[in-house]
Structure 1
Amino acid sequence: MRESWRWFGPNDPVTIADIRQTGATDIVSALHAIATGEVWPEQDIVAHQQLIEQHNEPKSSLVWSVVESIPVHEDIKLGRDNHQRYVDSWIASMENLAKCGIKTICYNFMPVIDWTRTDLKFQLPNGAYALRFDQQKFAAFDLFILKRENAEADYSDEELAQAKSIFSLMSADDIALLTKNIIAGLPGKMTDAYTIDNFRNMLAMYKDISKDILRKNLFSFLSQVLPVAEKLGVKLAIHPDDPPRDMLGLPRIICTSADLELLFSALPSPANGITLCVGTYGSRPDNDLPAMAKQYGSRIHFAHLRGVSRDEDEQRSFYEAEHLDSGVDMVGIISALLKEEKSRDISQSGDEIFIRPDHGHQMLDDINKSANPGYSCLGRLKGLAEIRGVIKALSVNFF
């Protein structure tokens, strides 16, 4: 497997020089400065490549191998009359990336909001900090801060009472922080930051968009993108919805194994693949990750390896736990990925699976440093070292 590391560009507190010291060989990155729906120019891609690769001699080599992500414009998701312009732009960006040798592309199809958390500095018993999603806090935001129309219909009487109780104890600063965490944009999000009013307006656009309609729009998008990807040798790797369930009245369509079955049955192209985000899929108790890794092995082009621990009493709430000590069987997942790679005959195809330590605890010296939530250096390095150890042990003993 190819060890990769996410880099957000020149403003990332974790520098390319830092990443070289981790032992990772590949970079996962994107052109975040380009507006959603606009073409990524070839010269901008080359310039970003040069930032990453300019000191590869005589230092350890790093290669920009994976894009995370080319944003999909909301008009494509909504199936609006003008959406073809944005489909064409997405394809043009993919073509320019392929010209530069970058042929693994992670993307998602989440409406309005990308991955979201309620707490960006949830303190663990050992003093480190993790990301957390608290369902009760989220309900309090939805019902009493956002005041989404007809939101009450999505909650039981008990949930309504719990949310009201939580909201009643929140200060103005608490409300502002929770709102910012949910709608103001997190590192790596492919959606824009919102104010509360334009967030409401965006949600309203999806009032008549059902799961079936959103899935139809995804399939329509891919029906145009996949034939080009095949010709270019590009692998597309869709990321699951995070958290993987409907929320805020929005449909979500890449959440479970059944969703993936629908995707691949409709569009069996070999270019149509997935990002196996262990933490995202693992935040649902009905997703069996080792089984999914086996079932969709040939479709896995990229894997985000992190653990989550779900709350015992509220399974929709979770925090991002240790990479090897959580509610998911990371050893079983890595074993399935290694078996899949062995079946591909990597020596001939070079078709290795890119993996990266996804997120990481803010710990030790990083606690007092500026860091993108989930993307501090030491926590991810710890996760990568643990994952590397599992790969080594399994490779020596079983592969």
Structure 2
Amino acid sequence: MPQSTCSLWRSLRTLVILCLLTRFVNRKPRPTYHPPTRRSIAWRCLAPLAILGFFALSLSSLHPTFLHTYPPDSRRAIVSLSTTADRFGPDLDLAIQSLLLQTVPAAEIRVHMPIGDRPLVMRPGSHPPVAVASDVSVPIDAAYPATMAWEDSAGFLPSVPPALRASPVKIVFVEDRGPATKFLYTIHDLLSGPKGADPDTREQPIIVVDDDIYYPPTMLETLLRAGRRNPVAAIANRGWRVAADLVWNSGSDDLVWSVALAREYRVGVITANSGYLIRPGFFVARDSVGGETVPILAAPANVGIASAFLVDDIWISGSLAARGVPRYIVPAPCGDLDISRVHTLEDRMARRGTDRATANTETLKWFKDAWLGDDVWYNRRLDAADRAAFASGLTRVAREVRRWVMWLSIVRS
């Protein structure tokens, strides 16, 4: 809800409540009985309905899309994610549906899948897409396709969730690069095209998400608005504070959520599960002879530890820190819902003989120089300056109620 509309609605609600209280307090007993008039009968019938309608309207305002008005946005986001065939089902369908129901529609929703999953998704005999070579404006890894070639939804098997057949959704099969598959190919595709050197291309918003989260309908709008205010920063709904000991600690105050904030808050690591906004130009670097390279496209092979393959949030944040790109968590009116039933990442970590805490700590320490250059260190405990960025308890409760209203709307549908 725009700030002016919020203020107007709060003022109107306060005025109505005061009028009702005044009428109740000033009510005097009638000394004698008077037969009801048509006017009094109408008031007695309409007043309860008006009061019920008022409070119903108050309850509906808890939904994050209530009374939204949005200016036209000429630079809509590309939403980028990855999934696998074994995650097909109601969870993925709900996640894509939530991306289709955004208050600011996405230009595209790109879904990347491992090439080995193609027979599990496409009908037998369906023709593979043909990639068309393009002019390469930036030196890139030859292992990537020359351009993205999207699958024709007419060739999908019936097992493909219905939401994946919607027109903004595009599926492409690629080599598996771990969890980072969700954004590496989109960065590559934009920078390697004929317009890869254009400022508009390098400033194109990419919103990276996960495939097992139901996103609130204002998620894209929240990130895009914050991105327009601060176009040189990565914007997220969730992140971690990086402490000087570089030890991952999920049980401390390190974790920062957008729904807990009153103003933007700078963090070390941003996470995709609640969505974050990046731009291709953030990753373009100049070499010693003036040429341009995109170091992140070589990742995770250029990160000297095997753990990095599994913890993309840390090494994309480390790569941004090395490029001098700040990361911010911004306030949001409503949180997301974790609808995951299949925990693929934990299974992959177990097969590699590691776990999330170990992999995160190893990768944090690998990027030590980047964090030093970033110069954003935090104490384990929130201090007074940190707490000033956080919203009041009442605001946080209201946002949590919005989240549960959204959950109830999913269950009801």
TM-score (norm 2): 0.28
- TM-score of the pair, normalised by structure 1: 0.29
CA radius of gyration, larger in: 2
